[in-house]
Amino acid sequence: MYSVLLVDDEPALCEIARVFLERDGDISVTTALSGEDALSIFHAGHFDVVVADFEMPGMNGIDLLKTLNAEGSDVPLIIFTGRGREEVVIDALNNGAAHYLRKGGSPNIQFAELRHIILQVVKKNQAEKQLERRENEYLDLFEHMLNGFALHELVFDDAGTPIDYRFLAVNPSFENHTGLRADEIIGRTVREVLPDIEGTWIEDYARVAMTGVPVRFERYSRSLGRWFDVSAFSPALNQFATIIDNITERRTAESGLRSRLSALTRPAADLDEVTFPDVIDGEGVMEVQRNLFDLIGIRSMILGPDRAPVFEALERSDFCNIVSGSGAKKPFPFMDFLEDIGDSLCIKQDLCFEGTIVAAAPFIIEGQTMGYWVLCPATTAAPDPDQVRAYARSIGVDGEALIAAANALPRVSLRTFSMAAGFLASLAARFSDLGMKVLLQGRLLNELEHVEAALRDKDEMSSIIFSNVPAGVYLRDTDGKYLSVNPAYAAIVDLDEASIIGKTVYDLFDREFASVFDEADRRVILTGRRDLSVEMKARTPSGRSLWFTASRTPIHGAGGKVIGVVGLVFDITAQKKAREAVIDSEIRYREIFNNMRSGMAILTIDDGEVIVQDLNLAAERIDGIDRDKVIGRHLDQVMPMAREFGLIQAIQRVHQTGIPEHIPFVRKDRGNIVFWREGYFFRLPSDTVGVVYDDLTTIRQAELDLKTSERTYRTVIEDLQDVFLRTDFSGRLLMISPSGASLFGFSSPESMEGMNIVDRLFPDPGIWDQMVAEIRAKGSITDWEFELMTIDRRPIKVSASCHPWTDDDGVAVGVEGMIRDIRWKKKVEEELRSSKELLEGVIDAIQDVIAVQKPDHTIVRYNRAGYDLLNISPDEVAGRRCYELLGRSRICDPCATVAALKSKKIAQVERYIPEIGRYFICRSNPVVGPDGEVRLIIEQLTDITGRKRMEEALQQANKKLNILNSITRHDILNWLTALLGYIEIEKTTITDPSHLEIVGKEELAAYNIRRLITFTKEYQDIGVKAPVWQDIGGVTRSAVAHVGSKDLEVTIDLEGYEIYADPMLIRVIENLIDNSLRHGGHVHRLRFSAKQDKGDLRIIYEDDGVGIPDNEKPLLFKRGYGKNTGFGLFLSREILSITGLSMTEEGRAGEGVRFVITVPRVACREISR
């Protein structure tokens, strides 16, 4: 049984709902009359679902839902309400409501639907909880399994070939096994994470993901430096999962064991090749070293015969690390005495400096020293810093660091150190005995090996040679399968021997190479003749590219039949790369040589004669010669003028002295440059002379032309109307155009040159100082206006634009620029100023605010009303944007100026400005220039605060009445729902027909009451919101879309008009379309159009239905008239009348309807398309 908490502020509705829901016995209902009571009941019991009304006093249904969500409740909540507004539904669903059901209609149907929704929601919630529990269980297993687990998907190229794979999920154990972090690899491909990954990983995993066949293997990852035991399977197409274990430690141990066994089974004569780790277990020795340190407090280390550390893992003192090169495996410089200690303990004092003490005991096996057990240095007294520094210099380390390390050495008495050294010597002797036993065991194994070797035949001896030959050797049968390979061959192809035996070349290499290799082997088998060495290129299974040579010889069996082929393979990759490197170097040199912009020649000296050895392409271009025709010839023959310009002599000097020289060689004809070249001569390591030279003819000719241009420039200066002048920074005149002499009353420019214009022309010398300072600081001045004076002291208004004048070295040495006589300009400005004052007087007299703006909203000025409204001065306005004066950071929305800029026509908006506390009509008029662009905006703001406050007061009163109606209607509808529910129950218990007839009349009366109450809801929304300007075309298209008219032919010709109407205008259009569909018969076409009529606008709606009979037309707009009882023409006319619009019907019966909405001119305006 499911438990339901039903919340509604109407007790009768709660009771009737409980009766209906509990009727089948599978639902138990608990009721609450408020949201607050519901919370208390919810916390005290267990419920599968909550059903709540939306509108209740205090906490409504949405508030209850939010409260339960905030408490973390997962019990679903269903909103069951009489409110049908779209925003209520959206609010409920957005806050997590499981479902939404509107009250009303037949109680039987309504509560049956509620029951169905309850069962559906509860079952869905229980299924989701069960799914979540299972997901948590799987996640817990995934997170805590010891094996590494990862899920991947393949990545394909355009041809559909798998080339990579992407990490989708990994568990913590995968991170531990691989060292890869989940947050760094999830979503990335393996080639992004491990760029050098071997191709075999991707190929094997792709096979699993595409075929579904699982695999398991052990493999070493070069990218991660680890061995893995891998199981892979495919959970879905093109996906694969891996379960891995890190087996590096096991494989390393196995490898070490094999290495030690190999060392110990060498012949006795090879004892020199046996090392300390071969006979003594390193971990055991290091464990003893740790225990020894814990016992005596002095570290120890194992050194080999070369005095270098054998084991790096054990921690050593800082002193030892510094003197040995920070722990590098190098001999200790202070251990030279080890060569002379023989077979007994040796203790050395003052070895590095006074107070140091070191001890060492040898490991001796069969009279041969395998290493030394050294007790690390200690001190018997505080080290002398000067002695430590001297020792540090002798071994080339940092003296201060060594002093700190020496002070940190253990400080013990000689007696204590000697006792510790004696204990160390006894341990070394015991380990020597242990090593001897291990060696004897190895020799025993070696003897057994010799016995077995004596029993092997000569074929086995051949096998030994086969295994140890440095070249790669392979044997293949006539079927192409590998019978045997030696280790060298396996190493060449990056595989182990076991993975090659029994395979064909096609199993190991790509098909293209395999076919070439196999064909060469088969040719030897078929012909029975040897195949000499051939170079081939291949890519190993690991992806490595290599070059090798292969020679093949047939294998003959009994009767001389060829039974296979033996191949000898040499890896020549290194040699190949070396040859290619030499070729590449030559190519790079030749590319640089031939792509130089300068010409270059390589010359040799033979018996004093200069011979051309090489030329680059630039030299051929500059000299117009063919390289192939001049190589090997004398320079005199190639360039006859070489001796004329001294080039031969210069080349011989450079070759003899090795000192580079720079030599220009030039030829002119009648003032024009025939050629101009400059060469740089230097000796090369090959005992040749290199020459790099450039053809500067064009550059030098350009410089000559520039001088000619200077003369032309002076001619232009003399014809200028404005004044050109050039001075030094003190004001001494260096040059002035003739127009300047004329302007200032002098006879000629020459009569002014050399004078100081600051003294003669500037009434105020301070102006010159300001000009110079500005030019120095900013690099120029533009349109500076000031007064100068003529020779007879008359003032002249001028404008100056100047910049620094520089000498040939680019150093600023004075001022040059243009001066213009602007006396006429000042006269025009004065006349404009008078006109401006007159216009400003008119604007300031206007009571509305007038603002002049730039297109970027920058205020040019306000009239007096604007300054008074904002309580600011003109200086505070200049350069600021209109919205910034209100304290805003962005443009107002909506903005009349933005609309005017867009349409380039007058635009108007009505808005409230909270910073001022007043309502305004903002009207913006764009001033458009000749190019069609807006230059200025003239904005007028009319204060309508008084009118708006009256409108708001009326709307507030209307809103309160609306709320009162809404609450009353809601309560009545709830009681009607309960009443209809009881009537339904009553009908099932009464059998008397006469009584049933009375009950039926009661039910009819209740439904009529509901219909009338519903009508009041439609009527109360009219006029609640303020009318607005609406695009009638856009409104009509929205109405057509809402009603749904996909099977109709709809024509809308209403573009370019806005009308001022109630926001419910769309309902009027929807009602007209709905009436056509309901009552028009078989309607196929609808048409909306507009036409002007004596200044008014007529909006016409027509269909092709049956039309309206004449006798019904007088009733069309009466309340309650029609075949339906919903939103009718009566309400449509009421909506239109709010702003003075009217509607009539002018159609003919049988020809379709024709409704005409008349819009007065004050409520209509045209807009741009």
- Give the CATH number for residue 311: 3.30.450
**Domain final position from 124, 141, 158:** 141
From 920, 943, 966, give the residue that closes a domain: 943
What DSSP letter does each residue of 1011-1055 carry, written as one string?
Answer: HHHHHHHHHHTTTSSPPEEEEHHHHHHHHHHHH--TTSEEEEE-T
pLDDT at 468: 61
CB count in 10 Å sphere of residue 571: 19
Does residue 459 form part of some domain?
Answer: no
Same domain, 567 and 606: no
Output DSSP code: residue 937.
E
List all residues 6 or more positions away from 188 whose beta carbon is below 8 Å from its beta carbon: 166, 167
Contact 973, 1010 (CB under 8 A): yes
Specify if 727 maps to a domain.
Answer: yes
Which of 893, 926, 943 is the endpoint of a domain? Answer: 943
- The reply to whether 420 and 478 lie within a common domain is no
Domain annotation covers residue 709 = no
> Does residue 1060 belong to any structural domain of this protein?
yes
d(CA 969, CA 247): 79
Sign of the alpha-carbon torsion through 256, 262, 265, 270: negative
Pair (268, 364) in one structural domain:
yes
- Give the pLDDT score at 790: 92
Q: At what angle do helices 248-264 and 414-455 cross, to 10 degrees?
A: 80
Same domain? 553 vs 471? yes
Tell me the C-alpha distance between 2 and 49, whole Å: 8
**Block means of pLDDT (10 residues each) for the chain, length 1169 residues?**
91 87 90 92 93 88 91 90 71 85 78 89 85 70 79 94 94 91 93 93 93 91 91 91 88 65 52 67 74 78 81 70 64 73 83 87 81 85 90 87 89 83 81 72 55 45 56 87 88 88 90 89 88 79 86 80 86 78 67 79 88 88 85 85 84 90 81 79 87 82 71 64 90 90 90 91 92 92 92 92 90 92 79 71 78 90 85 85 87 89 88 86 90 89 82 69 65 78 82 81 78 63 76 91 78 92 90 88 92 92 92 82 62 88 92 94 81
Same domain for 926 and 1061, yes or no, is no
Question: What CATH code is carried by the domain that includes residue 851?
Answer: 3.30.450.20
In a domain, 920, yes or no: yes
Q: Which domain holds residue 667?
A: 596-701
Q: How many domains does the chain have?
A: 9
> Are 278 and 402 within one domain?
yes
List of residues 6+ apart from 909 with CB closer than 8 A:
894, 895, 896, 899, 921, 922
Query: What CA–CA distance (Å, rounded) separates 1056 from 277?
Result: 98
Largest Cα–Cα separation, the chain:
148
Rounded Cα–Cα distance for residues 934 and 930 (Å): 9
1024-to-87, 89, 446, 959, 963 alpha-carbon distances in Å: 17, 22, 110, 6, 11
Other Cβ atoms less than 10 A from the Cβ of 594: the count is 15
- Does 748 lie in the same domain as 619? no
Laid out side by side, the sheet with 918-928 consists of 859-862, 849-853, 934-943, 918-928, 907-913
Dihedrals φ, ψ of 819, to 5°? -125, 135
Q: Are both 912 and 783 inside the same structural domain? A: no
**801 and 831: one domain?**
no
Distance CA 742, CA 756 (A): 17
- For residues 757 and 727, the answer to whether their CB atoms sit within 8 Å is yes
| Whether 277 and 374 share a structural domain | yes
Helix (H, G, I), strand (E, B), or coil: what is residue 247? coil
Residue 304 and residue 440 in one domain: yes
Q: Report the CATH number that the domain containing residue 1161 is assigned in CATH.
A: 3.30.565.10
Instruction: Report the alpha-carbon distance of residue 1001 to residue 821 in Å, rounded.
Output: 105
Beta bridge partners of 6: 31, 51
Q: Are residues 482 and 603 in the same domain?
A: no
581 found inside a domain: no
- Is 462 a member of any domain? no
Q: What is the pTM of this model?
A: 0.31
